Amino acid sequence: MNIRTKLHPAIPRVICPRCGTTMRLAGIEPDDIGRGEVTVFDCDCGFEYRMSASVREEERRVRAAEERAYAVAD
Ligand SMILES: [Zn+2]
């Protein structure tokens, strides 16, 4: 089985901007404001890349919930 098929589809392959190789997924951490997650990649050359991909999705969920609440209040 190809190992790549086991990776989460939401996690993209990231190419290191410094050395051009595929970066390793180092982990997923909560972001600074606690609203989402930061996906952390690192590379053998020492470059670290942090991607807060889920923050936007979380904001969309919150906004949709608020819109529903207003609709009920009407
Ligand atoms: Zn690198």
Q: Where are the domains of the chain?
A: 14-73
C-alpha of residue 62 to centroid of ligand 1, in Å: 36
Number of neighbouring beta carbons within 10 Å of residue 69? 9
Pair 58, 35: CB distance under 8 Å: yes
Tokens of 7: 């990776």
Supply the pLDDT for residue 9: 62
How does pLDDT run across 23-69, given as a tens digit for each residue?
Answer: 999 998 888 887 788 889 999 999 999 988 655 566 677 778 877 77
Cα–Cα distance between 29 and 36 in angstroms, integer?
A: 9
Q: Which residue, among 37, 35, 33, has the nearest Cα to 52 in the 3D structure? A: 37
- Helices and strands per DSSP (H, E), number in the chain: 1, 3
- For ligand 1, a single-atom ion, the residues with CB < 5 A are 16, 18-19, 43, 45, 47
